[in-house]
Amino acid sequence: MGVKNWKLAGNNLDEQANRIQQKFSLPHPIALYFAARGIGEDNIQDFLNPRLANLTDPYRFPGIQEASRRLWDAIAHKEPILIHGDYDTDGITASALLALVLRQNGGIVHSFIPHRFDDGYGFTPESLQKALDTFGPCKVLVTVDCGITSCDAVNDAVERGIDVIVTDHHEAGSELPKALAVINPKVYPELEDLQLLSGAGAAFKLSHAFIKYGREHNLGGFQTRLEEVLDYVALGTVADIVPLLGENRVMVKFGIETLRKQLRPGVRALIESSKLRSELTPADITFRLAPRINAAGRVGDANVALQLLESEHIVEAYQCASQLETYNRVRQEKEQEIYQEACEQIERNLAWQSEYSLLVAGRDWHQGVIGIVASRLARDYNRPTIVLTIQGDVAYGSGRSIACLNLVEVLSHTSELLDRYGGHPMAVGIGLKADRIADFFEAMDREVRKQISSADLEDFISYDGEASLHELTPEFFKYLAMLSPFGHSNVKPIYRFNEVQVQRCSVVGGAHTRGTLRGRTGQIDFIAFNRPSSAFYGKTLDVLATPQLNRHQGLEIPQLNIIDIREVY
C-alpha cells in the first residue's frame, strides 16, 4: 500500500530483445516482452502459435492406461462410475468435464460434490459413505481435484471392492493413496512440465487417455471431440489461479474460444447473467464467471453450479444461473463485512502481524468467504496472510501467499501446531485449536523470515522495458493479441514511456481520467482508472502502461491503460 517502486523485469533486455527482433522480425516491444519473460528463442514460435497438437501424450502419466482400461470395462459391464469432486470452480468443472466424456461413451455416471460445511474439504471416509448413500453402490470411483492425501478414504473404498482412480493437482503427503492409478503430475518428477496443471487439467488428461485408449482398442470414443470440453478446462484453470504457461496456456486459449461459442446452455446462461457483452477474456472468468460458480460452494449448494454446467435445457440453466446470482450477492455482502472487520483489526493492532506476515481471526466469520478476504489482504499489504474463523474451540482458515513464498512449505514446518493443512504454494487451508493461534503465528512468522527477505516484500511494479509511442503500430497490436491469454504468470505487458506530455484530459465515470499523451515520436489516447485529472493536467510524465485497443462503436482505437505515473516536470 502506498508508492510503488518501478523495476525492470531483467538485465540486458535490450541486447536480448534486439537479437529476438532481428531473428523473428517482431516489433521491438514484443521482442522486449519475450526477453523480459525469459521465453527462449526455441519456444517463441510455439508461444505465438499454440496448437492442440502440442499437448503431450497423456500416456506419460504412470497408470493412466490401466485407469482408462478400467473405465471402459465399467462401461462395457454397465457398472456405475462415481465421480467425487470438490466445491470450487476447479472441482466442479473437472467433475462436469469427466462426466460428460464418460456419458458420451455410454458411462453410467454419478457426480458427488461435498458440502463445504456439512462434509468439509476433500475425499474422506465420511464423504465416501455419503456419496454411496446418495447414489448407491459402485465399482469404480474417480476423484477430481482432490484425493492425493486421502489415504484413509481410498483404503475404505478398496475394502468395499471399489477401484479408485485419483486425479488431483495438489501437493502430496508423505504417503500416496493405494489407488488403482494416481493421476497427479506433482508426484512424478518426470512430469515436471505438467506440474502447473489445475484439477480440471488433470481430469482432461484422464479424459484424453480414455478416448485414446478407446480408439486404439476399438472400444469407442470416436464421436467425442475433446476440444469441445476445453471450456471446462479454461474455467477451472483460470479460476484456480495456476500459471497460464505451457500446456495450461494452450488449453485455456482454445478453451476461451469454446466458451465464446456458448455451446452449452449453462455457459450461455452464466455469461448472460454475468452481463458480459464484449469478447470473453480470462479476466472475465476471474472476476465475473468464477465468483458466481464459487459462490454456490461458499454460501449455498455447489450442486447448483454443477447442475448449471451440465444442463441441457436453457430454461433450467437460467434458473440455476439466477440462483447463483443470489448466492453471489450474499457472498459479496459477507466478504465485505469480514474484510472491513479484518482491516479494523489491523489498523488497531489487534491482529497478529509483523512486517513479514499477517494473521486475522474472528469468531464465527463465514467460512465460505475467508479465502477471498485473505487474497485481498495479501494483495493490499503484500504479505503472506492467514484469515481464521473461530468456531467454539477450533479455528478454520485460509491463507494466501506472495509470489516468492511457498506457503505449503512454510506450513510443513509448523505442522505440529495444526490439525490439518494443505493446498498450493499460493493458497492453503488450515485447521487448528483456537488456543494455538498465537503460537502458530509465531512459528509461521519465524519460518517466513527464513525463506524470504525484506526485499521480497518490497511493493513494486515490474515492467517489460522502455517503449516509444510510435512503436505501437497495427503490427504491434496484431502480435499483442497473439501473446494472450493473459493471466497468472503471463500478465499483460507493461512498458515504460518516458517524458510524455498530457495534451488533454477529462474526468470520466467520476473517478477516472481519459485523455491524450504526446511523446517525441507520436501520440496516443489513455485511460487512467481511479486517478484524478489533477494528476495529469498540464504535466509531463513518465508512465507505466499497458497498450490496448479500445473497441467502441465498431472501431478499434489504440490507447494506453495507465498503471502508474511519475511527474517529470
Q: For the segment 276-307, what is each residue's pLDDT rounded down to a tens digit?
A: 976 899 999 999 999 999 999 999 999 999 99
Q: Which residues of the chain have pLDDT under 70?
A: 1-2, 278
- Please count the CA atoms within 13 angstroms of the CA of 384 that sit on its side-chain side: 29
The three grid cell numbers given for residue 565, joined into one nine-digit string: 505515473
- Residue 472 CB neighbours (<10 A): 22
Q: Give the dihedral sign, CA 427/433/438/439.
A: negative
Residue whose grid cell is 459477507: 334
The three grid cell numbers given for residue 471, joined into one nine-digit string: 512503436
Residue whose grid cell is 493458497: 427
In DSSP terms, 524 is beta-bridged to 517
Q: Record the pTM.
A: 0.92
- Residue 40 CB neighbours (<10 A): 9
Q: What is the Cα–Cα distance from 303 to 297, expressed in whole angstroms?
A: 8
For 9, 150, 456, 538, the CA distances from 426, given in Å and listed in that order, are 21, 21, 15, 42
Q: DSSP states of 23-39 as a string?
A: HHT--HHHHHHHHHHT-
Pairing of strands 522-528, 512-519: antiparallel
Q: DSSP states of 481-531 as a string?
A: HHTPPPBTTBPPP-EEEEEEEEEEEEEETTTEEEEEEEETTEEEEEEETT-
The three grid cell numbers given for residue 140, joined into one nine-digit string: 469404480
Q: Give the dihedral sign, CA 213/216/221/226.
A: positive
Return the CATH architecture of domain 5-9+461-567: Beta Barrel (2.40)
Task: Identify the pLDDT of residue 1.
Answer: 43
- Residue 80 CB neighbours (<10 A): 16
Residue 388's closest CA among 446, 436, 451, 447? 436
Q: What is the Cα–Cα distance from 565 to 569, expressed in whole angstroms?
A: 12
> Where are the strands (E) in 9-123, listed by range?
81-84, 109-112
Asked if residues 21 and 31 have their Cβ atoms less than 8 Å apart, the reply is yes
Asked if residues 238 and 290 have their Cβ atoms less than 8 Å apart, the reply is yes
The three grid cell numbers given for residue 121, joined into one nine-digit string: 474439504
Residue 505's closest CA among 487, 526, 524? 526
Residue 209's closest CA among 38, 308, 63, 91? 63
Asked if residues 28 and 471 have their Cβ atoms less than 8 Å apart, the reply is yes
Q: What is the Cα–Cα distance from 115 to 88, expressed in whole angstroms?
A: 10
Q: What is the Cα–Cα distance from 552 to 558, expressed in whole angstroms?
A: 11
Q: Class for domain 55-229, per CATH? A: alpha beta
Q: What is the Cα–Cα distance from 434 to 396, expressed in whole angstroms?
A: 9
Task: Identify the pLDDT of residue 2.
Answer: 53
Kindly list the domain boundaries of the chain, sorted by start residue.
Answer: 5-9+461-567, 55-229, 351-457
Residue 118's Cβ-count burial label (10 Å; 0-12, 13-18, 19+) is exposed
Backbone angles phi and psi of 160, in degrees to 5: -85, 0
For 81, 118, 193, 211, the CA distances from 65, given in Å and listed in that order, are 17, 35, 20, 11
Task: Identify the pLDDT of residue 403.
Answer: 82
Radius of gyration of the chain (CA): 25
Classify domain 351-457 by CATH number.
3.10.310.30
Give me the count of residues in the chain. 569
For 336, 400, 407, the CA distances from 358, given in Å and listed in that order, are 18, 10, 13
